[in-house]
Amino acid sequence: MKLGTRLALISALMLSLPLAGWQLVRSLEESLRDSYQQALIDTARSVAGEIAALPVELPETAGFYVHDAAREIVVDGHTSDWTPWIEEAQPLPKHEGDAAMAHVVTAERRGRLHLLIEVADADLLMTGPDGAPGDRVALELVTSERSGRVTVAPMAPGWLSARGDEGWPRVQAALQPRDRGWTMELALEQPATVSALGLRVVDVDDRGDSPATSVFATEEPRPLIRRSEPIAQRLAALLPDHTRGWVTEPQGWILARAGRGDVTDESDTADEAGWLLATSAARLLGVLPDESPRRGADQDRLDQGELTPEPAANWYQTASGNGFVISAGAPILRAGTVVGHVVIERPADRFMASAYRSLLQLFVFGLAGMLVVAAVLIGFAARLSARIRRLRDTAEQAIGDDGRVHGTLEVPQGSDEIADLGRSLSGMVERQRRHQDYLQTLAGKLSHELRTPLAMIRSSLDNLGEVDDPDSRERYRQRAEEGCLRLQQMFQAMSQAARIEESLSEDPLTEVNLGDLVENYVAGCRQTFGDHEFAAIVPNRTSARIAGSSEQLAQLLDKLVENAVEFSPAGSRIILRVVPQGSTISLQVDNPGSNLPDDHSERLFESMVSSRGGGDGAHLGLGLHIVRLIAQHHAARVRALDRPDGVRFQVDFPRIRA
């Protein structure tokens, strides 16, 4: 998987942060909403208890709801005056026949009872002049003083009147046919407080031998349900501020309504921009409530879904879409029987809207922040990948397919890990190039080193065969012997280096006091190299402990001291120091003499490299190479440094802590 893809996945995982915050805020909003719902439920339950205790009769059975007419109703058989209530028409139960249905609407104006009856039927038959039965309506009216019955049997469409057997009740009526059915409008001629109403609608479809008749009727007079002013006054006194409430009978017909305070223009609904943001938040996050039920001033019945047998609450969005309301309902109980319901509604408080706005702001800003972070990470990954690819291409160009170094590796700029990797690779390529140069010149170096002793041997042997003088022959023999000795020394030096390199892994490392080792070694050097002075400087022996091999360290000192003796004049002083430096112990060998050749400080430790100008001895440059092998085995670093009066060879060993 590429680096950019990995960073993209990591950026995607970071999206869990705003989602977690969104879930937290939503949980808080739900808790706050639940607490508001419970508070309003408790209020509804309390109001229901108070209404149940009122000495007011509440209808316990289904009845006909009487609407309050705000203007006069003209008895003409048309429905234009009944438009506000036509959708709330109550069906009449059908007892027989195949007529579709019959509905009735009841209203009252200045004490006069009005009825609108609609019958859906294909045929309209009038009462015949000979008394042949036709479509008709029978009424039974009950007041606190008397009851009476009247039948309205029209002989033709239009206006008519009818009266009961004892002259009461007297009604005015009007019949109008429709496309599929007929409409009859009725009204009492005189005001009367009717408490119950019985209806019987007879729809005749055929007067033949087998007359077809449909009957819609109530089995007995039903009570008339009206608004109650005492209940409305008590409800208004019980409602909290900024709420409105309704009291209904079990079927949802409103017995009383009241409001307290301003329930439409509260501060949290006035800010249209804020509510637009809150609504958008609720819709985006899946918490947008349903639109609130219609509860207009001209509405006389609440939805049955709001009337629950147990106290409950719901959240709604206002019809205008610029706010939220909470509605709670509770049943009114008398003797364990539900005789009505209380419904209370209030707008959501300002900080409830703020909760929705906070949800949206948290989600949007968090998502935007994560997208910015993802873009930055992907851009960073692209730049990082480009730098790595550029470093790869440069490395491939520096080293050919044959494994040979053809150029240098361009060091990338910067101080980060990639730049450090580039510098490391550049150093590796440079070391590879030097080693390649060393291998290329190895044959020449060996040829150069072997040419002199071989020439000595060959010339001596040639001259030895041409002279007879014993002194000359002895001289040539000795020169041939010197050439053989130089060859032997060269081979011994190369074999010694090979043996040391093979034996390094076999010799275990133990704790060694480097200070004691150096002091003992310097004492031996004073006897071996009498032409030079030696000094050992060990500031603190107890802190000069390293992990090493005493035998290998002695060989390392041999090579360093031999090198110092060869390059320092006779009678000079060679100093060996053991210096603790933080986490390392430095072994320093200082000798006077000339400085190092330019750009030669690192190559001195390679095999077959020597800075000697010449001489009679065999110098293959293996001594310092052996020093580096032993130092690497001890996890140490060896360096050659120039000093004002000579050269210092320094080996830094890891220190063993007490």
Is residue 389 classed as helix, strand or coil in its secondary structure? helix
Are 253 and 300 in contact, with CB atoms under 8 Å apart? yes
Q: Report residue 139's pLDDT band, with 50, 70 and 90 as the boundaries.
A: very high
Q: Which residue ranges form the domains of the chain, and what is each CATH number?
A: 3-56+228-358 (3.30.450), 64-225 (2.60.40.1190), 507-654 (3.30.565.10)
CB count in 10 Å sphere of residue 423: 14
Q: How far does CA 466 lie from the centroid of its chain?
A: 100
As a dihedral over the C-alpha atoms of residue 578, residue 579, residue 584, residue 586, rounded to 10 degrees, the angle is: -50
* Nearest alpha-carbon partner for 222 in 66, 55, 56: 66
Check whether the bond before 59 is cis (ω within 30° of 0). no
- What's the mean pLDDT in 225-242? 91
pLDDT tens for residues 391-424? Answer: 888 887 788 777 777 777 777 777 778 888 888 8
Rg of the chain's alpha carbons, rounded to an integer? Answer: 58
Are 566 and 553 in contact, with CB atoms under 8 Å apart? no
CA distance linking residue 548 with residue 551, whole number of Å: 9
**In what order do the strands lie in the sheet containing 584-592?**
533-537, 573-581, 584-592, 646-654, 637-643
β-strand 158-163 against 170-178: which pairing, if any?
antiparallel
Range of lowest pLDDT (61-70, 219-228, 250-259, 622-631): 622-631
CB count in 10 Å sphere of residue 501: 15
* Nearest alpha-carbon partner for 46 in 342, 305, 310, 314: 342
* Nearest alpha-carbon partner for 151 in 165, 161, 137: 137
* Nearest alpha-carbon partner for 192 in 215, 164, 217, 231: 164
Q: Report residue 231's pLDDT band, with 50, 70 and 90 as the boundaries.
A: very high
Token reading at 117: 């009856």
pLDDT tens for residues 526-578? Answer: 888 888 899 999 887 777 889 988 888 888 898 899 889 888 888 899 999 99
pLDDT tens for residues 145-166? Answer: 889 999 999 989 999 999 988 8
Predicted local distance difference test score (pLDDT) of residue 266 = 44
Are 408 and 430 in contact, with CB atoms under 8 Å apart? yes
pLDDT tens for residues 256-315? Answer: 999 887 665 444 444 555 556 666 666 655 556 666 666 666 688 888 778 888 999 888
Please return the burial class of 116, using the count of CB atoms within 10 Å of its CB with bins 0-12, 13-18 and 19+: buried
Q: Does the pLDDT at position 113 exceed 70?
A: yes
**Which residues does residue 525 pair with via DSSP β-bridges, in sequence order?**
none
Instruction: Work out the angle at residue 472's Cα, subtended by the Cα atoms of residues 466 and 476, and round it to the nearest 5 degrees.
Output: 80
CA distances from 262 to 266, 269, 349, 362 (A): 7, 11, 13, 32
**Which residues does residue 640 pair with via DSSP β-bridges, in sequence order?**
649
Q: Does the pLDDT at position 321 exceed 60?
A: yes
Predicted local distance difference test score (pLDDT) of residue 292 = 62
Are 15 and 370 in contact, with CB atoms under 8 Å apart? yes
